[in-house]
Structures are given as C-alpha cells and as structure tokens.
Amino acid sequence: MSQEESDISLIIAQIVQKLKGSNLYAQLERQAWASLQRPEIKLESLKEDIKEFFKISGLFPLPSHPAAPPEHLKEPLVYMRKAQGSWEKRILKSLNSMCTELSIPLARKRPVGEQKELLNKWNEMGTDEPDLSLFRPVYAPKDFLEVLINLRNPNYENGDSLSFRTHLGLIQVPLKVKDIPELKECFIELGLNTGQLGIDDSTQVPPELFENEHVRIGQKVLAEQDSAAAQQYVRQGSPTALRAELWALILNISSQPEDILYYEQLKTNVIQHDLLVDSLIYKDVKLTASNDDYYFVFEDYLYQVLLCFSRDTSVLSHFAYNSASPPKSYIRGKLGLEEYAVFYPPNGKSNVIASSIAPLCFLYHEPSKLYQIFREMYVRFFFRLHSISSHPSGIVSLCLLFETLLQTYLPQLFYHLREIGAQPLRISFKWMVRAFSGYLATDQLLLLWDRILGYNSLEILAVLAAAVFAFRAVNLMEVTSLAAAEAVLADLSTLKVMPLLQIFLFATVT
Amino acid sequence: MSRVSVPCHVKGTVALQVGDVRTSHGRPGVLVIDVTFPSVAPFELQEITFKNYYTAFLSIRVRQHTSMHTPAKWVTCLRDHCLMPNPHSEEGAQDYVSLFKHQMLCDMARVLELRLILRQPSPLWLSFTVEELQIYQQGPKSPSMTFPKWLSHPVPCEQPVPLLEGLPDPSRVSSEVQQMWALTEMIRASHTSARIGRFDVDGCYDLNLLSYT
C-alpha cells in the first residue's frame, strides 16, 4: 500500500473507532446496509473503490504530516515538550513524597463496610469533615507561573543587553500572538454594530430592539438541533433559559441511557477504590466551594463529579493532543512489567481545579449530564490552562497575549507597574488559569464562557484580562507597590464583561 | 502514487555571508545545503520531506541531466517558499514539511543534484537548518482505477423489469445474497476493540509509587 493510502486507511480506522457505539454510527450503518442492496455495487472491490474515491475527491485532508511522530502532534516545539516533561516529573515527585510521608497508599480497595457507607452518603459528601491539614495541593498556580516564566528557547537570543528583541513582560518565548486588528477580525461579532447579550439586554434597552429576536433565533436553532449554528449563535451570548441546551448542543452531549450507565459505572469505581488524589480533591473542593458565596450550594455536586472524573479512562484519549502525559505506575510487586502498568489516577490528571466545574452547576442539575458537559469542556478547553504548550489557546500563549496587549496599548501603565515591581501577569495569571471562575459574578462568567464556546478558543480570557487593567488604569497608575495593585484588582465581582471587551477591542483610540 | 526513497548524500551546510566570517558580528542569514545522489542514475523527483528548524524561507535549485552534450545548468525549481509566516515568532519553526513535484517551477525529470538555499532574516535565532531530509522518486505505478460510476453519479431507482413467470424477482435475490455475504464477511472480520473503561488489572489497583520514566 502506498504512503497516502495507508494514511487514509489509518484516518478512516480512527474515525470508525471513535464513532463505534454512538448513535451516529448506528445511523450510518443502516444507510450503508440500504445502499449495499443496490445491484450495481460490487462487494469485492467496495473497499478499494471507496478509498480511491476519497483520494481523488480530496474529501480527507490529512491532519498532520505523515512523518511527524505522535509527540509532534502533542506539541511541535521540542523545548516545550521538555519543559512539560520536567514539570510533570516535579508533580510526580510531589505526589510520591506525599504518599511516603503520610504513609498513605496511592490506591487501595475499600473494605465492604466502607463501600456501603460511602454509597449511603454519596449525595452529601460535603457534610464530612475529614482531617485534611496534612495534605497540600500538588502545586499552586504561582509555582506553575514560575515554570512558565523560566521557559526559554535554547535557539533564541536571550541576551542580557536590552534591545528591540527583549520581552519586557515575564514570558520570554516568542510565540505568535494576535494584535488588536487581528483580534477585531477574529471576534467580529463582538463589534459595536452587533447586538450582544450582556449589553443590549440591559434594562434601559427595550427588548424589541434585540433581545426578543435573539431569543427567537435561539429557539429556532434548538428546534433544528443544529450544532454549528448554535456555536455561531452563542457568539452574541446565550439567553439564560436556553443556555444549558445550547451548550449541550455545541458540545454534542445528548443524554443517552448508555451515558447515564457509564456515569453509574464511574460511581461504582469510586466506591470500590480509594485513591490518594481523592483527599486532594476534597481539599480543593472545600477551598473552592465552602467559602464562596455563589458555589457553596454545589459542594456535594463538585465532589461527585470530580471523583468520577478521576476514574474516567476515556479522558486518556485527549492526551493525544495534550502536551502532557499521564502518570504511570505498576501494580505492587510487578514493577517494570508492562502488563501491570496502569495510569494513576485512571484519567491521568492529578490536578483538576474544582472551580472550572462550579459555574456549570448553575446550568445542569442532573449529575450524569453535568459530568458529561464538564468532561467535554475539560478535554476541549480547560486542559490547555494546565499544560505547557505552544497552542494559541495554551496558557503560555494567553499569558504572552495579555502582556503584549497591555504593553502595546497601555504602555504607560505597563511601564509604571513594571517599575514598582508589580508585573501585571503576576496579578492576572490566577484569573486566566481559572478562566475567571470565582472572580466574576456568575451571570457575567457564563456570558464569557458563551464566547469561549462560540469562538472555540480561550484567547478571550487574555483580552478580558487586559480590558480589566485598562478599565482600572487610572487607579493603577497611582499605586506604588504590588500589594496595592493587587488590592485595586482584588474585587472583579461588579464588572460587566461584555462592555469591557467591546470597549477594549473596538472603541479604544490607539 | 507510491514513492520510493532515494539514498542521498547531504553535504555540510555552507553559510553565505558578506565580509569576513571571523570579523563580522552578525550571524549568517543564508545557508546552502548541497544534496548529491552518488549511486543513483538521474531520476524523477516526486517528493521532498524534511523537518524544519527555524528556517523562514526555502529556495531549491536543481541541476538536471541533459541528453545533448551541453553542460548541466542550475535551474531554480522553488523560489522563496515560506516556512515561517512570521520569522520572528515560533509559528512553523519545527514543523514537518513535504514538497511535491507539482509545486516545483520546472520539470523534475532527470535530477542530478539539488541545492537547498535556506534563509532566516530574523536575528533572534541562534541557528537554523532543515533536518531529516528525505528525497523520494516515483514508485511503481499502481494500475489506474476509474472509480465506479455509482459513487460519483448515484443512479436513480430504475423501473423494475417485468418478472418472468414462476421465477423470483432477480434484484431481490441478488440483494439477499449480497446481504448474506456481507454478514459472513463482517462476522469473520469483526473483533471488538471498544474500550470498557477498566483501569485496574484483574480487579487489582494496588500500586507502587509513581514511576518517572
């Protein structure tokens, strides 16, 4: 078989593999059966005919170069792969040392009595008050920021003398980021002449001007179950009543009985085995939910979803395009034997921030649907905030985009903050790495996440961060220390996201 | 079209620089790589693949075998092909690239030698080159297939042929036979590889420490 043919076969096999077991696969099979009954089709040559057709018609462009190894797909730049690898090693060391210091096994099977107990209080795990003081999170966001700050390309001129090539911000890698003209083009639906939810639905604006029509279109999109149209629609914001269904449509989540069954299976896995990361999850949820005015009601949901998420092996498939790799371990006594190699935790993620689930609890109340939505959002978007990669939506690019926007369009502010030792990224990093969850008011956050789904990119987080700085620029110019700058930007809960974005992108005189 | 790798000899890169290499301060922005084919007769070039390493623009010149007794001349077959859209940033810097015959400006029928001219105008990078260079010629041709008409021109349902007395409907018979045949093929070929989501080994998830490799 020639190179091209084997590549196409591989792609077809991969697509079939992914579709297997889904509703779409059953429909396609039925159609195929119906077509096979036509007498002019010769079954012996069917496979070859279809392959040849695909090649000639150009319907299947190859996603990546055939010579590229799988690591290249995860992350094309070698030095970033290396940095991600050493970061992961640090996390593994931290987990291992926690394990040995506290003499708690990484995983153990729960005795039957304990399993029954957990099953009984499954819906109220928040009432538990286990002693978690000895557990510390695997890493803090500022550790991760330090790693990003120290990223260097060995082939790049990192000279000490200041020149045009010096990066004045914290990020020192020359990734391509968009400037405002390119962002304007990209986020064209956020322009001044287009209606937006978050701006044109405020009480002073009569609903006949925009809101009513927008809601009507949203209902139509839902009636037609058109996923692509939903994605386009949500760029102008989603009405609260329709949001849950629209997001499910965009993420291709439909609650089939098999999905509910799958979630129940995960729940059983949680009950059977107790993992060390469970304690870390408890601690993270307590930190996120207990003290937060908006999220404390969802504490129990957060436990359920995160615990199940950590047992979900289907998440492992996203590592094909994530620069990170899942931690590996061996069954006790079988060190080095590949048949006894497993991933730990089963889904490969040892740090998931509970804050990215909490806003979803406002939309979805049924645990298995909430779980599916969260999982899909995680493997599409949020994983990029926790691994080192050169992807335009990766955290490194977002940081660089934020710094570049601030430097280019607010140079005085940037220079002032830098002079007083308050590098802007140190303040905005925590916002971006949590996708602003826990910092904005919930309705504003959901409007922001509408745009993340609509544009299929996280760049809007960096733009919003810069817009917030622009908004508070006057106050920030008067501060004289990092602590004072943090104080000015401590409370974002009163901000209205869409006007800030619109002004920064489309109404600022440059 | 299949392709066959051609063994080639890649000579060391030569930097082109104005002025004395020792005394001038800037880094060279132009490199030349010569590729010869010592043990192969003049061949038809099909494809060139390589891994980029911070080269921004690539030009290729080729020297072809001429039948007459005229000396072979160098001809430019690719001019300033852009590998990095922004030479100052990382986009495209470490990508795998393929260049095909149809992208070349001239006929690549009897290639003797290739010369790759790499350009990187940005002073930010310490070095640049291309790696893992592979040259391919055309492999044995597969018999050209005209794909059957039913794929490109689906036929509308025809009028059923009037049945001969006493015989079953031929199109029904043929479709049933096909169905049975397809079923047997399917059963023979299928084996489930759907994941069942097990993360443990035979019910056991009792682990050592995490491994670093």
**How far, in Å, CA of B99 to CA of B130, rounded?**
13
| Candidates B90, B128, B132; nearest CB to A175 | B90
Does B195 contact A76 at a Cβ distance shorter than 8 Å? no
Q: Select from B3, B123, B211 the Cβ nearest to the Cβ of A328.
A: B211
| Residue A58: pLDDT over 60 | no
Sign of CA dihedral A209, A212, A216, A219: positive
Pairwise CB contact (< 8 Å): B206 & A105 = yes
Strand partners, B59: B117
- CA dist B57 and B30 (Å) reads 10
Q: Mean pLDDT, chain A, as a whole number?
A: 85
Nearest-by-CA chain B residue for A167: B124
The 10 Å Cβ neighbour count of residue A168 is: 14
Mean pLDDT of A378-383: 90
Q: How far apart are CA A428 and CA A466, in angstroms?
A: 8
Give the span between the Cα atoms of A354 and A288, in whole angstroms: 7
**Cβ pairs bridging A and B (under 8 Å):** 175
Contact B207 A329 (CB under 8 A): yes
Instruction: Find chain B residues with C-beta within 8 A of A342's C-beta.
Output: 199-201, 205, 207
- Could you say which DSSP state residue A384 is in? G
Residue whose C-alpha is closest to residue A307's, from A122, A48, A103: A122
What is the tens place of the pLDDT at every residue in A174-225? 999 999 999 999 999 998 888 888 888 888 888 888 889 999 999 999 999 9
Q: What is the mean pLDDT of residues A48-77?
A: 69
Instruction: Give the least confident one: A244-258, B48-62, B63-77.
Output: B63-77
Structure tokens at B16: 């082109």
**Which residues in chain B touch residue A17, judged by CB atoms under 8 angstroms apart?**
193
Average pLDDT (A129-133) is 75
Task: Compute the distance between CA of residue B77 and CA of residue B60 in angstroms, rounded to an integer.
Answer: 6
What letter represents residue A441's amino acid?
A
Q: What CA–CA distance (Å, rounded) separates A202 from B157?
A: 57
CA distance A90 to A94: 6
Instruction: Name the residue of chain A whose CA is nearest to B126's CA.
Output: A155
Q: Which residues of A touch B144 (CB under 8 A)?
A: none
DSSP type of residue A120: H
In order of A100, A104, A134, A239, A375, the CA distances from A279 in angstroms are: 15, 11, 10, 38, 20
Q: Name the residue with higher pLDDT: A342 or B10.
A: B10
Is residue A108 within 8 A of residue A274, CB to CB? The reply is: yes
For Cα atoms A77, A69, B79, give the angle at the middle one, nearest 5 degrees: 65
**How many CB atoms sit inside 10 A of residue A194's CB?**
15
Q: What is the DSSP letter of A43?
A: S
Q: What is the DSSP string of A133-165?
A: TT---S--HHHHHHHHHT---TTB---SS--TT
Chain B residues within 8 A of A50 when measuring between CB atoms: 151
> Mean per-residue pLDDT for B149-156?
53
B63/chain A closest Cα distance in angstroms = 27
Q: Inter-chain contact B206–A331, Cβ cutoff 8 Å?
A: yes
Distance, CA of A439 to CA of A141 (rounded, Å): 15
Min distance A174 CA to chain B CA atoms (Å)? 5
Give the Cβ contact number of residue B113 at 10 Å: 18
User: Which candidate from B123, B145, B206 shows the least CB-CB separation from A107?
Assistant: B206
User: Residue A498: is its pLDDT beyond 90?
Assistant: yes
Q: Which amino acid is at A382?
A: F
Q: What is the CA radius of gyration of chain B?
A: 29
Between chains, do B210 and A327 touch, taking CB under 8 Å as contact? Answer: yes
Predicted pLDDT at A486: 94
DSSP state of A286: I
| pLDDT tens digits, A81-103 | 999 999 989 988 888 888 888 88
Between CA A369 and CA A295 the distance in angstroms is 18
And the tokens for B91? 């986009």
- From chain B, pick out residues whose CB is under 8 angstroms from the CB of A328: 210-211, 213
User: How high is the pLDDT of residue A239?
Assistant: 92
Cα(A441)–Cα(A428) distance, rounded to whole angstroms?
Answer: 17
CA of B20 to nearest chain A CA: how many angstroms apart? 22
Asked if B89 lies within 8 A of A175 by C-beta distance, the reply is yes
User: Please, which residues bridge with residue B134 across strands?
Assistant: B49
Confidence grade of residue A403 (pLDDT, cut at 50, 70, 90): very high
CA distance A214 to A153: 47
What are the residue ranges of helices labelled H in B63-197? 149-152, 170-189
Mutate to test the interface with A, among B47, B90, B169, B192 (most CBs of A within 10 A): B90
Residue B16 gets the label, from left (phi > 0), alpha (psi -120 to 50) or beta, of beta
User: pLDDT-derived band of residue B1, with 50, 70 and 90 as boundaries?
Assistant: low
Contact B2 A314 (CB under 8 A): no
Q: Report yes or no: A320 and A74 within 8 Å, Cβ to Cβ.
A: yes
Write out chain A residues lying below 8 Å of B128, CB-based. Answer: 155
Nearest-CA distance A339 → chain B (Å): 8
Nearest Cβ partner for A314 among B95, B197, B207: B197
Q: Which helix (H) or strand (E) holds B77?
A: strand B74-82
The conformation of residue A290, written as its DSSP 8-state character, comes to I
pLDDT band at A429 (very low <50, low <70, confident <90, very high): very high
Pairing, β B45-53 against β B129-138: antiparallel
Do residues A413 and A290 touch, judged by C-beta distance below 8 A? no
From the list A89, A96, A343, which residue is nearest B209 (CB)?
A: A96
Give chain A positions within 8 Å (CB) of B152: 53
Say if residues B35 and B113 touch (Cβ distance below 8 Å): yes
The span from the CA of A326 to the CA of A328, in Å, is 6
Is the separation of the CB atoms in A458 and A400 below 8 Å? no
Q: Smallest CA–CA separation between B92 and chain A, in Å? A: 9
User: From CA A75, how far away is CA B136, in angstroms rounded?
Assistant: 27
Q: State the smallest CA–CA distance between residue A465 and chain B in angstroms.
A: 23
Residue A393's pLDDT band, with cuts at 50, 70 and 90, is very high
Which has more pLDDT, A160 or A144? A144
Q: Which residues of B touch A92 (CB under 8 A)?
A: 210-212
pTM value is 0.83
Q: Which residues in chain B have Cβ-Cβ distances shorter than 8 Å to A56?
A: 147
Number of H helices, E strands in chain A: 23, 4
Task: Report, as an integer, the average pLDDT of A469-485.
Answer: 94
Q: Which is more confidently placed, A82 or A277?
A: A82
Q: Which among A3, A174, A343 has the least Cβ separation from residue B124?
A: A174
CB < 8 Å to B153, chain A: none
Task: Pull the structure tokens for residue A278.
Answer: 């469970």
Nearest to B94 among A21, A39, A76 (CB): A76
First to last CA, chain B: 41
Percent of chain A with pLDDT over 70: 87
User: Is residue A120 predicted with pLDDT exceeding 80?
Assistant: yes
**Residue labelled with tokens 């209080």:** A121
Contact yes or no for A76 and B145 at CB 8 A: no
Mean pLDDT, range B59-88, rounded to an integer:
88
3-state DSSP call for residue A42? Answer: coil
* Dist. CA A465–CA A380, nearest whole Å: 21
pLDDT in tens, B159-208: 555 556 667 777 778 878 877 887 777 766 655 544 556 777 666 777 76
Q: Which residues contact A189 (CB under 8 A, 6 or more apart)?
A: A235, A236, A454
> Looking at this protein, which amino acid is placed at residue A259?
D
- CA separation, residue A247 to residues A199, A212, A324, A353, A455 (Å): 21, 20, 27, 21, 13
pLDDT band, very low/low/confident/very high, at A510 (cuts 50, 70, 90): low
- Mark out the alpha helices in A273-350 (DSSP H runs): 276-285, 299-310
Residues B92-148 have pLDDT tens digits of 999 999 999 888 998 888 888 999 999 999 888 889 999 999 998 887 766 655 555
A312-348: pLDDT as tens digits: 888 888 888 888 888 888 777 777 777 777 788 888 7
Identify the helix (H) or strand (E) that includes residue B130: strand B129-138
Distance CA A502, CA A187 (A): 10
CA atoms within 13 A on the CB side of A214: 26
Give A1's pLDDT tier (boundaries 50, 70, 90): very low
Cβ contacts of A68 on chain B, cutoff 8 Å = 96
Its sign, for the CA torsion A258, A262, A264, A268, is positive
Give me the helix-helix angle, A257-272 and A367-380, nearest 10°: 90
* Exposed/middle/buried for residue A221 (C-beta within 10 Å: 0-12, 13-18, 19+): buried
pLDDT value at residue A146? 94
